[in-house]
Amino acid sequence: MPKALLLENIHPFAAASLRDHGFEVETRKGALGEDELIEALEGVDLLGVRSKTTVSRRVIDARPSLSAVGCFCIGTNQVDLDYAAKHGIAVFNAPYSNTRSVVELVICDIICLLRRIPAHTHHMRHGLWDKSASGSHEVRGKTLGIIGYGNIGSQLSVLAEALGMRVVFYDIEEKLAMGNAQRCDTLNELLEQSDAVTLHVDGRKSNTGFFGEDQFEHMKQGAIFINLSRGFVADLDALKRHLDSGHLSGAAVDVFPVEPKKSGDPFTTDLADEDNMILTPHIGGSTLEAQESIGHFVSQRLEDYWENGSTMLSVNLPQLTLHACRSKARIAHLHDNLPGVLARVNRVLGEENINISAQSLGTEGEIGYVVTDVAQMPSDDTLKALSSLDGTIRMRVIS
């Protein structure tokens, strides 16, 4: 019986679905460090993680039998994708399933900060009745600057405009503007006119420290800042300086450079004493609806890969969309992208007079993936020959 390990409170739907597909499933509430993860992965075929568990080169080297990793979240920077691919480990994520949840939290943060709800709540809790409109604003007519106009940024654009906001955005790639949103040619152009600035950039290493002192300096007097993207993107020390100076009127931060491994662990931040501040523990996509959707989506990708060899929506392997095998067996061969591999696979099968009923090939960068449906089960010698072909990364038989 194949085995799956699910960490970090992944929605129970995922475990139930994998069990329905014949997996023995172990679940754990928190994240695991490297040594703990290596120990826990003994005999495991599929691993499910969220954002706190790192699947490093050391982990991959220690557990070469691992077949796939499901990231039950948007980001995949917790997995060494290239190294996983070179060792035959497919990686899947859920790039769209919690988009709406993140967008709604951003809208909530914008309204609360412009109305100074965190500050008023703090005063009330300390016995101060401060009934004043000072510093409190409607969102209607304000300018929202969206940095990163992907799935989340573009959907946020639509909802913000429905609230009466003017929307400008900046992205390093060409993106189609939604509604009346306007593209800015430079980041500073966006910063200098936005009443609210929100980050929605991806987890690539080049975005580390992307938003720092210079960017905060260019923000409009009295503006608010929101980061629900990645913790390493924004300089929180610089943010605090601009809040303390009165340059910025408020901020909401959901992600941090260093975060606890599991719920209940202690956490401190210098931003905790700020007046008009919203601090949340990386819950941008954490709604019951989103987590159920992610559990369904990623578990289905893992099941399709294990049962059919389908790499549809894999983030690190050539993508082949495959349905259930109707032949005697299916041979999935992952290899270095070298000339002539397909011909060599077919020659090995031909030497045993094995009829090929269907075949698919995909390549991406340095990796090639050929899936062959055959009319009879190859002999052990033939399978050994296929797994010994030059450039073979991993071969498995699906029947």
Cite the active site residues. 230, 259, 282
The size of the chain, in residues, is 399
Cβ-proximal residues to 212 (8 Å cutoff; 6+ apart), any chain: 234, 235, 238
Please name every residue paired with 234 in a beta bridge, in sequence order, or none if there are none: 211
Question: Parallel, antiparallel, or unpaired for β 329-336 and 356-364?
Answer: unpaired
Burial class (CB in 10 A: 0-12, 13-18, 19+), 20: exposed
Distance CA(331)–CA(346), nearest Å, equals 11
Question: Parallel, antiparallel, or unpaired for β 3-6 and 24-27?
Answer: parallel
Give the chain's end-to-end CA distance (angstroms, integer).
Answer: 14
3-class DSSP string for 217-261: HCCCCCCEEEECCCCCCECHHHHHHHHHCCCCCEEEECCCCCCCC
Cβ-proximal residues to 296 (8 Å cutoff; 6+ apart), any chain: 13, 14, 17
Cβ-proximal residues to 266 (8 Å cutoff; 6+ apart), any chain: 260
Distance CA(223)–CA(247), nearest Å, equals 8
